Chain A
């Protein structure tokens, strides 16, 4: 296991370098540059100050020097400064992270609670009424855009119950019930697709396991069906479902951009989107970099858990 972890950590280095390079290239592709954008708001800047600013942003340097300098700063935890507010990005990201993390965690939890039992039941009663219903619902879940679902949920709750979520964000540590109430609609909107994916995966994984010889053996030695399903089938079938979870973090982070915007939750997604609206490039740059690195690290963690649970993976 130790060797496997080490190999995966070494492989992480080129990926992280590639991610940061891509983010920098993206920002250098800007029509005009960050300085023009900044000057757009402060009309009084003369050519002398303009040159200073250009040097400050590293835009005079050839791209590889710019990249190395920027990377040096990033490694030291310095992600730049917002053009609009002047706050350091490291601080801003740390402030916004809990909101997105809570949204993603609760959505995953809700998806699991609904989808895992449904997937298992669909597989056990294959081709039955429940299986068919779950199959159709799953396909619908995959097709309904999360932003539309969110809009519809907001529309119907306000039309029929007159209730609207509080627009000012409440921290769960200050007032948990109020926070959960706020989280309800965003979490449902974000987890619908996840439910569909987890359910389909759980079902197909369970079906594959149920056709294995060891299940037949367990049954033929007279084990009760519940035990066969819980101890022999479910445990093995759940492993691949964990790996899909890693990929789904990408969906959650992307979906958070839209959902946070709709519900006015000031998380990381909201920050990136408003950075784009306000052409505040350091915000976009650090936000996208942070999200991509987080995604890679979560996936690494998932892979490690997978390798721990299923020893066959380690020897590939």
Chain B
């Protein structure tokens, strides 16, 4: 009892210092090695994507060397079936993955997020219509729908991004709709309405900030699945087209030579796995940090 009181006194006397966002993140990551690993991998990936022209030792499209040279010597990870430097192609390939991740998840977030908001805001008939549409989209295995859409529209990196964006949007519709519904029933929404706030103000001022956490987590996780999907598409020849270096394309075209030169398939695959792993680790950690349900130890 006594300790409880002192604890309570201590809590009231010392005001909790408000930490800056960055300091908070640093502190959190220092205590969570898994999240830290994820963060480091993701940062490496982003730096690689942004700085590719500066970091790559060779032009990823030039064919200056002998074909299928093993690792070492002038080429750290060897050369591919056209004599192109594998390391440079992997570094430039990160740009494709990064771009696909950003744009396709962006499309999914725009379409799905809007549908989810509209659904949760208006409820009733609109909600059931959107719900049906989302159910129908979920009825297709995502990889098959992505392959079918890209196949129909003609294989290219752009159609890959559109296909992935469309197929992932129902996930965001669901992630946004549920908390929006809850928030719309809160009293402060009624209060805001009474003060004359319009629909847009309510959405931007009250709904969006309150649904940010699950949307951030879903964005990180979708980013990793989007990268995987693009790699799968390109591996099958339905995504980014050669000679442009995408990790999936490198793996797909290198497969014919893998017994002669294992490095042409080992390293691009490793790059995909590490980028996806980084995003998954970070996403998992963010969920633990942002989801109160998990924080209580229910996971």
Contact = CB atoms under 8 A, between A and B. Distances in A.
Q: Do A and B come from one complex?
A: yes
Contacts of A284: 148, 151-152
A139 B277 contact: yes
Given A207-B299, A288-B145, 18 more contacts: A15-B135, A19-B136, A22-B136, A136-B34, A139-B277, A140-B273, A142-B280, A144-B269, A208-B298, A250-B141, A254-B142, A258-B235, A258-B236, A261-B236, A284-B152, A292-B139, A292-B144, A295-B139
A291 B280 contact: no
A250 B236 CA distance: 19
A276 B299 contact: no
Contacts of B132: 14-15, 18
Nearest to B281: A139
Contacts of A139: 34, 277, 280-281, 284
A210 to B, nearest CB: 11
Nearest to A249: B141
A253 B141 CA distance: 7
A12 to B, nearest CB: 10
| In the complex, the 5 A-B pairs of residues with the closest C-beta atoms, listed nearest first | A254-B143, A148-B269, A276-B151, A18-B136, A143-B277
A118 interface: no
A213 B170 CA distance: 37
A273 B232 CA distance: 12
A99 interface: no
A78 interface: no
B277 A140 contact: yes
Interface string B160-204: 000000000000000000000000000000000000000000000
Contacts of B266: 152, 155
A154 B251 CA distance: 13
Contacts, number: 136
25 contacts: A26-B152, A139-B280, A139-B281, A139-B284, A140-B277, A143-B276, A143-B280, A145-B228, A145-B276, A147-B251, A151-B265, A159-B259, A204-B299, A207-B299, A211-B298, A251-B141, A254-B143, A258-B235, A261-B236, A269-B144, A272-B144, A276-B151, A277-B237, A288-B144, A291-B141
Nearest to B272: A145
Contacts of B277: 139-140, 143
Interface string A284-308: 1000100110011000000000000
Contact of A148 (B142, B151, B251): B251
Q: Which of B141, B237, B281, B284 gathers most chain A CB within 10 Å?
A: B141
Contact of B255 (A15, A144, A151, A254): A151
A168 interface: no
B117 interface: no
Interface string B204-242: 000000000000000000001000100110011110000
Interface in B115-166: 132-133, 135-137, 139-145, 147-149, 151-154
A30 B269 CA distance: 32
A233 interface: no
A186 interface: no
A313 to B, nearest CB: 18
Interface string B274-299: 10110011001000000000000011
Contacts of A30: 152
B144 A31 contact: no
Contacts of B46: none
Contacts of B276: 142-145
A272 B141 contact: no
Contacts of A242: none
Interface in A64-116: none
Interface string A249-290: 111011101100100000001001100110000001000100
Contacts of A254: 141-144
B258 interface: yes
Contact of A155 (B135, B238, B265, B272): B265
B236 A143 contact: no
Contacts of B144: 253-254, 257, 269, 272, 288, 291-292
A257 B147 contact: yes
Contact of B273 (A145, A155, A276): A145
A255 B259 CA distance: 24
B70 interface: no
Nearest to A151: B265
Interface in B10-39: 34
B83 interface: no
Contacts of A251: 141, 143
B106 interface: no
In this complex, the member of A139, A147, A277 whose beta carbon has the largest number of chain B beta carbons within 10 angstroms is: A147
